[in-house]
Amino acid sequence: MGRNGKAGPAGRRHTLQAASLPRPSQRKLVGVLAAGEVLGGVGMGSTLSLGALLAASISGSNAFSGMAATMSTLGAAVLAIPLARLAQARGRRISLSAGAAAACLGAVLAVTAAGVRSFPLLLLALLMLGSASAVNLQARFAATDLADDTTRARDLSLVVWSTTIGAVLGPNLFEPGEAVGAVLGLPPLSGAFVFSVLTLASAAVVFAAGLRPDPLLAALGRSGSGARLPRRTGGWTVLRTNPLARFAVAATALSHATMVALMSMTPVHLHEHGASLSVVGLTISLHVAGMYALSPVFGWLADHAGRLPVILLGQALLLAALLLAWTSAESRAAVTASLILLGLGWSAAVVSGSALVAEAVHVGHRAAVQGTSDLAMNAAGASAGALAGPVLAVAGYSGLGLSAMALALLVAVWAVAAARHRVRESTAA
C-alpha cells in the first residue's frame, strides 16, 4: 500500500489475481466447509473429555483438570486474529488449512506430552488444539463470502449445523482410541488423539484442496476495490466507525456469554441435587441438540424475516430459559427445558448475528472484523464461565439465572435501538 493510499505493486497483483478468479459454486463451497467442519469437530470432540483426564493424570491433581477447557478456549481466542489476518492477506483456503494443521500439531504434542509426562507441554498442546475451534468459527463466515442477502444466513447456518456431527461422534471415540493406542504402544489416555491427528490432517487437506478458487479472494475480485483498502486495518478500528457491525459483534458475544454462564454450571447444580451422570449427560446432549439441530431453520428465518428480528427472537428464547432457571431450579424437568431453550436462543442469536457481521462491513474488511468477533465471542464465553462459579456459590442456580438476564436484556434493548436507527436511515434515503 502506497503512502497516498493507493495500491502498490503487490496490492495490484493481489486484486488482478482475485478479479481473474472464477466464481466458485456456492453449493460446492458450503459442502467443502461442512466436510471440513465435521472432520475438525471429530478431532476436537474426541479430545475434550480426554484432555481433562490427561491434565489431571499428568499434573497429579484433579484441580488442574479444568485447564484443558481453559487452554483450548484461550487458544481459540489467541489464534482468532492471526488466522483472520492470514485470511485477509492470503484467502480462506490458506487460513483454514493452516489452522487445522496447527491443531493437528497440537494433537501430536498431546501424545508426546503424555509420553514424557510433561504438564507444560500438554498445556501448549491444548492451546494449539484450540486452533480447531478458531477454524470452526471462521469457516461459518467463509460460507458468506459469495452468498447473497437472500441465502447468507442459511448458508452460514448449514456450516454451523454440520458441527453437530463432530460434536456427537468425537466424544464417543474415547474407548476405541484407547484400544488403538494400546496396539500402537501409546501412553494411557492418549489413544483418542490418534483420531484427532488423522481427522484434523484430513480437514487441512479438504480445505486446501476444496477451496479452489478461494471464496474470499473471489469476493474481493468481484468488489473491484480490494487493493484500494488498507490491508492492515484492524477489526477494532472498523468497529469504532461502524455502529451496525459493532452491535452485531456485541450481540453474538453477549449471547454466547449468556449461554456459557448457565450451561457451564448446570452439571454442577444437577449433581448437587442428586442427579445421576446419565441424567446430566442427557440434559447436556439435549442442550447441544438445541444449539445446532435447528440452526438451518433460524438461518432461513434470518434471510426471510431479517437479521434483527431473529436476534430478538434469540434473546426472547434466552430470557425464557433464564426465567425457568430462576423460578424452577429445583425441577429437573424445568432445568432440562431451560437448557433446550438456552441452546435454541444461542442458535438464533449467533446465526443471525454472524450473518449481520458478514454483511455490515465491506468485503475487504470482512475477515478482520470476523476475527475480532471470534475473539470477542471466546473472551466473553471464558469470562462468563469464570464468573458463573462464584455467582452460583453466592446466589445459587436461581440467582445465576436471574443475573444472566441482564445480558439478554441488554442485547434486546440494543437490537430495538438498532432497528429504529435502520428505519430512520431508510426513511431518510
**pLDDT: which is higher, 409 or 57:** 409
The pLDDT tens digits for 75-91 are: 888 899 999 989 988 99
Residue 171 pLDDT grade (very low, low, confident, very high; cuts 50, 70, 90): low
Question: What is 187-199 written as a DSSP string?
Answer: PTT-THHHHHHHH
The last residue of one of the domains, among 153, 178, 212, is 212
197 and 66 together in one domain: yes
198 and 316 together in one domain: no
How much is the mean pLDDT over the chain? 85
Among left, alpha and beta (phi > 0; psi -120 to 50; other), residue 147 is: beta
267 part of a folded domain:
yes
172 part of a folded domain:
yes
8 part of a folded domain:
no
Highest averaged pLDDT of the listed ranges 56-60, 101-105, 128-132, 214-218: 101-105
Query: Are 335 and 283 a contacting pair, CB within 8 Å?
Result: yes
Q: Which three cell numbers stand for residue 374?
A: 471470534
Query: Average pLDDT in the 40-66 region?
Result: 74
260 and 349 together in one domain: yes
**pLDDT: which is higher, 191 or 327:** 327
Please check the confidence at residue 103 and state whether its pLDDT lies above 70: yes
240 and 208 together in one domain: no
170 and 275 together in one domain: no
274 part of a folded domain:
yes
d(CA 233, CA 220): 15
Domain of residue 319, residue span: 235-424
- What pLDDT is attached to residue 29? 92
Query: Are 369 and 388 a contacting pair, CB within 8 Å?
Result: no
Cα distances (Å, whole numbers) of residue 124 to 44, 48, 195, 378: 15, 15, 19, 18
Number of residues that this document lists for the chain: 429
Beta-carbon contacts of residue 203 (< 8 Å; ≥ 6 apart): 36, 39, 40, 43, 100, 135
289 and 208 together in one domain: no
187 part of a folded domain:
yes
Q: Is the dihedral of CA 14, 35, 365, 22 positive or negative?
A: positive
Amino acid at 22: P
- What pLDDT is attached to residue 24? 61
273 part of a folded domain:
yes
- What pLDDT is attached to residue 15? 45
d(CA 318, CA 173): 32
Residue 247 pLDDT grade (very low, low, confident, very high; cuts 50, 70, 90): very high
Of 63, 375, 344, nearest to 249 by C-alpha is 375
Beta-carbon contacts of residue 237 (< 8 Å; ≥ 6 apart): none
269 and 140 together in one domain: no
d(CA 156, CA 27): 12
Question: CA gyration radius for the chain?
Answer: 22
63 part of a folded domain:
yes
- What pLDDT is attached to residue 190? 82
- What pLDDT is attached to residue 23? 55
The pLDDT tens digits for 277-301 are: 677 777 877 888 888 889 999 999 9
Q: Is the dihedral of CA 326, 256, 243, 159 positive or negative?
A: negative
- What is the pTM (predicted TM-score) of this model? 0.81
173 and 241 together in one domain: no
Q: Which three cell numbers stand for residue 361?
A: 462491513
161 and 283 together in one domain: no
- What pLDDT is attached to residue 48? 63
**pLDDT: which is higher, 308 or 270:** 308
Query: Are 84 and 370 a contacting pair, CB within 8 Å?
Result: yes
Residue 3 pLDDT grade (very low, low, confident, very high; cuts 50, 70, 90): very low
Domain containing 58 — which CATH number?
1.20.1250.20
- For cell 449461554, the residue is 259
Query: Average pLDDT in the 194-213 region?
Result: 93
Residue 16 pLDDT grade (very low, low, confident, very high; cuts 50, 70, 90): very low
192 and 254 together in one domain: no
d(CA 158, CA 226): 28
Q: With pLDDT > 90 as the criterion, what percentage of the chain qualifies?
A: 44
Beta-carbon contacts of residue 365 (< 8 Å; ≥ 6 apart): 229, 233, 235, 238
103 and 208 together in one domain: yes
88 and 168 together in one domain: yes
d(CA 337, CA 188): 38
Please check the confidence at residue 71 and state whether its pLDDT lies above 80: yes
11 part of a folded domain:
no
**pLDDT: which is higher, 164 or 352:** 352
Question: DSSP assignment, residue 294?
Answer: T
The structural domain count of the chain equals 2
- What pLDDT is attached to residue 230? 47
Please check the confidence at residue 156 and state whether its pLDDT lies above 60: yes
Please check the confidence at residue 253 and state whether its pLDDT lies above 90: yes
- What pLDDT is attached to residue 101? 96
